[in-house]
Amino acid sequence: MNTIAPAAMTRENPSSPPDANLTADDVVSAAKNLVPLLREHAVRTDEERRIPDEVYRAVQEAGLLHILKPKKYHGLELSEHEHARVVMELAKGCASTAWVVSILSSDNMAILSYPEQTQDEIWADDSYATLAGNTNLNPKAKTERVSGGYRLSGSWGFCSGSDFSEWLIFNAPVGEDGEGHMFLLPREDVGTVDDWTPTGLRGTGSRTKVVDDVFVPDHRIMKTSETVDKLQERRSLHPTFDALYAPWPSYGRFSFAGVGLGAALGASDQFAATAGSSSRVANALGGRVRLADQDYIATEFADIMGELEMAQRQVEYRSRVAAEQAAQHISPSEKDLAIQIRDNSLVARVALEATQRLQMIVGAKAGFPAHYASRAKRDAEMVASHVTLNWRQASVRYLSAAIEEGSA
Q: Are residues 120 and 156 in the same domain?
A: no
Distance of alpha carbon 111 from alpha carbon 108, whole angstroms: 5
Residue finishing a domain among 96, 127, 158: 127
Q: Given this model, what pLDDT does residue 252 score?
A: 62
Q: Where are the alpha helices (DSSP H) in 275-333?
A: 295-327
State pLDDT tens for residues 116-128.
999 999 999 999 9
Using a 10 angstrom Cβ sphere, with 0-12 exposed, 13-18 middle and 19 or more buried, the burial of residue 307 is middle
What are the Cα distances from residue 330, in Å, to 228, 234, 239? Answer: 15, 17, 15
Which residues, given as ranges, of the chain have pLDDT below 50?
Answer: 1, 5-10
Distance of alpha carbon 318 from alpha carbon 326, whole angstroms: 12
Q: Given this model, what pLDDT does residue 369 score?
A: 96
State pLDDT tens for residues 276-314.
888 777 787 788 888 888 888 899 999 999 999 999 999
Label the pairing between strands 286-290 and 279-283: antiparallel
Residue 76 lies in a domain: yes
HEC-encoded secondary structure of 192-208: EECCCCCCCCHHHCCEE
Q: Given this model, what pLDDT does residue 363 score?
A: 86
- For the chain, the residue count is 408
Domain coverage including residue 184 = 131-224
Q: Given this model, what pLDDT does residue 5 score?
A: 44
Report the largest interatomic distance among the alpha carbons of the chain, rounded to a whole angstrom: 77
What are the Cα distances from residue 73, in Å, to 108, 228, 349? Answer: 11, 21, 37
Q: Find, among 123, 106, 116, the residue nearest to 167 by Cα.
A: 123
Q: What is the CATH number of the domain that holds 265?
A: 1.20.140.10
Residue 244 lies in a domain: no
Residue 138 lies in a domain: yes
Q: Given this model, what pLDDT does residue 72 score?
A: 97
Q: Are residues 258 and 403 in the same domain?
A: yes
State pLDDT tens for residues 28-70.
999 999 999 999 999 999 999 999 999 999 999 999 999 999 9
Say if pTM beats, i.e. exceeds, 0.85. Answer: yes
Q: Given this model, what pLDDT does residue 250 score?
A: 77
C-beta of residue 223 within 8 angstroms of C-beta of residue 181: yes
Q: Are residues 319 and 184 in the same domain?
A: no
Q: How many domains does the chain have?
A: 3
Distance of CA 4 to the CA centre of its chain: 23
